[in-house]
């Protein structure tokens, strides 16, 4: 299983997520570095652990601002390939992100359920970006789908997953925002296990609330190919030695 560090961006700095309550997010305080500047945090994660890929959530872009292109370039210079969620709510934005610097910075374009207007929009983005590059983030909050789209409302997470699979989604993130930064475990193992049963070949990455090795082992047992981790790295509850058995 691959371990993927999370870098949440807001106001030009790296912030610490807290249960999806973005108005409470503050610049990260890390034992790995002394500053919340993206280049400082990125360099520390790359140097200390040797990570080659990072998941970047541009929270300002998700809220509607223009993507932070220069920061993505900074993080790429640290040595990362980026899985980027920059609020791709439309096919136009998804294409724009995918084409930035000829697509060389990004290992994946993340399209979040919370940003999508409809299932049709997801299908259009899959056609525009390609299923090999698009990652669909099944965004939850306290186990409920996080969406304002009428077409998704009333559906449980597994029903949404079935529809997304039919549209052609091959790469997934399963994330419960209520767990982010709360050190309570991811809490999505059951859903990941059922998603794996639906399709043995898809890529499943889960995260939110990972506390340490026990949570990583739980996600691996649930069929996950990767885990998103943030606070446990910065608090040194997970060290390079602890992660020796995992892909970085």
Q: What angle do CA 125, 58, 194 make, to 5 degrees?
A: 60
Q: Output the tens digit of pLDDT for each of the chain's 248 residues.
A: 999 999 999 999 999 867 656 776 789 999 999 999 999 999 999 999 999 999 999 999 999 999 999 999 999 999 999 999 999 989 999 999 999 999 899 999 999 999 999 999 999 999 999 999 999 999 998 889 999 888 888 899 999 999 999 999 999 999 998 777 666 778 899 999 999 999 999 999 998 889 999 999 999 999 999 999 999 999 999 999 999 999 99
Q: Tell me the whole-structure pTM to 2 decimals.
A: 0.94
The sign of the torsion formed by the CA atoms of 94, 175, 181, 45 equals negative
Where in the chain are the domains?
A: 2-234
Q: Rounded CA gap, 20 and 154, in Å?
A: 21
Tell the residue number behind the tokens 């995260």, with chain if given: 207
**pLDDT for 19:** 60
Which of the four CATH numbers 3.30.450.40, 3.20.20.70, 3.30.70.260, 3.40.50.620 does domain 2-234 have? 3.20.20.70
**pLDDT for 194:** 96
3-state secondary structure of 5: strand
3-state secondary structure of 8: strand
Structural contact between residues 169 and 126, judged by C-beta atoms closer than 8 angstroms: yes
């Amino acid at each position: 299983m691959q371990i993927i560090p999370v870098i949440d961006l807001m106001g030009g700095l790296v912030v610490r997520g807290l249960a999806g309550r973005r108005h409470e997010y503050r610049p990260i305080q890390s034992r790995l570095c002394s500053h919340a500047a993206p280049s400082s945090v990125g360099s520390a994660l790359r140097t200390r652990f040797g990570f080659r890929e990072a998941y970047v959530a541009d929270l300002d872009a998700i809220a509607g601002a223009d993507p932070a292109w220069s920061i993505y370039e900074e993080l790429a210079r640290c040595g990362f390939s980026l899985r980027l969620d920059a609020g791709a709510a439309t096919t136009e934005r998804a294409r724009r992100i995918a084409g930035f610097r000829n697509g060389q910075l990004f290992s994946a374009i993340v399209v979040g359920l919370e940003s999508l207007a409809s299932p049709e929009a997801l299908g259009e983005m899959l056609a525009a970006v390609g299923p090999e590059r698009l990652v669909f983030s099944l965004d939850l909050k306290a186990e409920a789908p996080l969406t304002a789209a009428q077409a998704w409302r009333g559906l449980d997470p597994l029903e949404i997953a079935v529809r997304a699979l039919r549209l052609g989604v091959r790469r997934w993130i399963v994330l419960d925002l209520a767990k982010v930064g709360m050190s309570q475990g991811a809490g999505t193992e059951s859903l990941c296990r059922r998603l794996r049963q639906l399709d043995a070949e898809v890529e499943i990455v889960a995260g939110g609330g990972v506390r340490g090795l026990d949570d990583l082992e739980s996600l691996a047992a649930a069929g996950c190919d990767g885990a998103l981790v943030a606070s446990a790295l910065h608090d040194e509850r997970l060290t390079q030695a602890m992660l020796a058995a995992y892909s970085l």
